[in-house]
Amino acid sequence: MRLFVTHATRFTYSGKAFLSQSEIHLRPRDCPNQVLLSHELWIEPESEHVGTRRDYFGNTAAHFTVHEPHRSLLVRARSSVAVAPTSLPIQSPAWDAVRDRVRHDRQRDCLEAYQFVFPSPRVECSAALAAYARESFLPGRPILEATAELNRRIYTDFTYEKGATDVGTPVAEAFAKRRGVCQDFAHVMVGCLRSVGVPARYVSGYLVTRREPGSVRLVGSDESHAWAAIYALEHGWIGFDPTNDLVPSTEHVTVAWGRDYSDVSPVKGVTLGGGEHTVEVLVDVEARDREALPRIR
């Protein structure tokens, strides 16, 4: 499947801004089931220089500065990706075996996974999160089976509600409220997994916008989306979307991953002047049938 993504973010200021410096994560990644075919970026007012860097987690981050006075800032990206179907393996190792392996194994893959066991700026581990996770993570249970059940329980027990939380809401508060948006669902799931010692990372991306009559609109489409991924030894990293009780496949576009939202926020930065500001975000993901696309390895 080929997916076309448009993401536009506009900041409108009550006064004149004299300088804006921003970093953005809008370029989709190449990963096992996804190939980036094209990516374009526009900044208005135009920046004299737009640079890119590979961040610690391997994501492509762009950065720019607008020096001229302005009352609005528009960041617009357009990308196309080829996405292949994914499914859960039939068998997987016990979750506690994975926990113990990454704790003691010093091979590169396990070492890289081990860093995702610890608390991060937006995701604290806790006894409450561990107790919730342990209802699914029984001793010796296969890790994918346990995680799929946790994914389903969060989907069932929590209510998707815009305005119940904001970008800075702690995971403990979202967990106590049992409500929030996809960022909160992903943070809660990551916190639950890490609290029992399972490596879990936060993934940002998009969902297909469904337009067909009678089609079910997935929660989180028409905006940035987020989900969790766990490390399952020989199976590598596998995603779970607790907002929709899905395993991400051909309708998910992966942009970036990190410890939590603070590592991969789509647009962040600082502005000199400008007074108060409002933010408008427009996201559209269009799916097209398979055509001559590069093979995904």
Cross-strand pairs, 273: 17
Within 10 angstroms of residue 99's Cβ, the number of other Cβ atoms is: 18
pLDDT at 167: 87
In this prediction, residue 49 has a pLDDT band, given cuts at 50, 70 and 90, of confident
Q: Of 6-20, 95-109, 216-230, 234-248, give the lowest mean pLDDT range.
A: 216-230
Which two structure tokens, joined as six digits, stand for 72? Answer: 């609005």
Checking DSSP bridges between strand 267-273 and strand 2-24, what pairing results, if any?
antiparallel
Top CATH class of 95-248 equals: alpha beta
Burial classification of residue 48, based on how many CB atoms lie within 10 Å of its CB (0-12 exposed, 13-18 middle, 19 or more buried) = exposed
What is the torsional sign of CA 238, 242, 245, 250? negative
pLDDT tens figures, 235-246:
999 999 999 999
**CATH 3.10.620.30 intervals, the chain:** 95-248
Residue showing tokens 């001229």? 68
Is the pLDDT score of 148 beyond 80? yes
* Four-way CATH pick for 2-84+265-288: 2.60.40.2250, 3.30.70.141, 3.40.50.300, 3.20.20.70: 2.60.40.2250
Q: Say if CB 22 and CB 265 are below 8 A apart.
A: no
Predicted TM-score (pTM) of this structure: 0.92
Spatial separation of the C-alpha atoms in residues 130 and 118, rounded to whole Å: 13
Residue intervals in the chain for CATH 2.60.40.2250: 2-84+265-288
**What pLDDT sits at residue 296?**
36
Alpha-carbon torsion (291, 292, 293, 296), positive or negative = positive
Using 50, 70 and 90 to split pLDDT, how confident is the model at 38? very high
